[in-house]
Chain A
Amino acid sequence: MNKVIKDLLSRKSFIFSIIIIGFFSILAVAAPALTTYSNPYLPSQQYVAAPYAVPSWATIFPQYKELPPDVSFTFTKYVSSDSSYVTAVNASYIKVVVPPGQTVNVSFPFKWNWSHPYDVVVSFKLLTPSTTSFVVNLYFNGLYAMELCPVPFPVEPAVSISPGKVNSVVFDSKYISPANSPFASELPLSEQPLAAYEFPSYALPKPGTYNVTVSFENTGSSKEVFVMSLPSYSSLGYVYGKLGTDDNGASVFAEFVYGARFDLYLSLLASALIIGIGLFIGLLAGYVGGFTDLSLNALTDFFLLIPGLPLLVVLISIFDVTGTIVNVNKPILILLIISLLSWPGTAKIIRGQTLSLKGRTFVEAAKALGEGNLRILFRHILPNLMGILFAQLAYDVPGVILAESGLDFLGLGITGFPTWGNMLGFATYNVSFINGFAWWWVLPPGIGIVLLSTAFYFFGSAMLDVLSPYKLRGE
Chain B
Amino acid sequence: MSSTATSEKSVIRGRFHITGLKRYLLKRIAERLVLLFGILVFNFFVFQVLPTLYHINVAELYVPLSYKGLPRSELVQAIDRQFGLNLPLQERFFVYIESLLTFHLGISMHYDEPVLNLIEQRFPVTALLVIPSLLLSTVLAVVLGLYSISRQGKIGDSIVSFTAIMTYFIPSFWLGEIVLYVFGFYLNIFPTNIAEAITRNGVTLHGFAYWASLLKFLTLPILFLTVVSYGVRNILFRNNGVELMGSNFVNYLRARGISDRKIFYKHVTRNAIIPVFTRVGIDLAFLFAGVVFIEDVFNIPGLGRLLVSAAENLDIPLLEGDFYVISLFAVVILLALDLIYPLIDPRVKYE
Binding site for B on A (CB under 8 A): 298, 301-302, 305-307, 309-311, 313-315, 317-319, 321-322, 324, 398, 402, 405-406, 409-410, 412, 424-425, 428, 431, 433, 437, 442, 445-446, 449-450, 453-454, 457-458
Contacts and interface: CB of A to CB of B under 8 A. Distances in A.
B56 A322 contact: yes
A315 B45 CA distance: 11
B308 A453 contact: no
A313 B323 contact: no
Contacts of A450: 166, 169-171
A412 B312 contact: yes
> For the side of the interface on B, what is the size category?
35 or more
A311 B308 CA distance: 9
B292 A310 contact: yes
B296 A410 contact: yes
Interface in B196-235: none
B108 to A, nearest CB: 15
Interface string B40-78: 001100110011001110000100000000000000000
A306 B296 CA distance: 20
Given A305-B35, A410-B308, A428-B177, A453 B327 contact: no
A301 B166 contact: no
Given A313-B312, A317-B314, A412-B312, A298 B171 contact: no
B277 interface: no
Given A307-B326, A310-B289, A310-B308, 18 more contacts: A305-B330, A305-B331, A306-B39, A306-B42, A306-B43, A310-B319, A310-B322, A314-B319, A318-B51, A321-B61, A322-B51, A324-B55, A409-B173, A424-B171, A433-B185, A442-B178, A457-B165, A457-B169
B242 interface: no
Contacts of B61: 321
B311 A313 contact: yes
A341 to B, nearest CB: 11
Contacts of B54: 318-319, 322, 324
A431 B178 CA distance: 10
13 contacts: A302-B38, A302-B39, A305-B330, A307-B286, A307-B326, A309-B308, A310-B307, A313-B311, A318-B46, A318-B56, A318-B314, A409-B293, A428-B177
A324 B52 CA distance: 12
A431 B54 CA distance: 39
Nearest to A442: B178
A445 B169 contact: no
B174 interface: yes
Given A305-B39, A454-B165, A446 B55 contact: no
Interface in B171-207: 171, 173-175, 177-178, 181, 185
Interface string B280-292: 0000001001001
Given A298-B38, A306-B327, A424-B174, A398 B169 contact: yes
A444 to B, nearest CB: 11
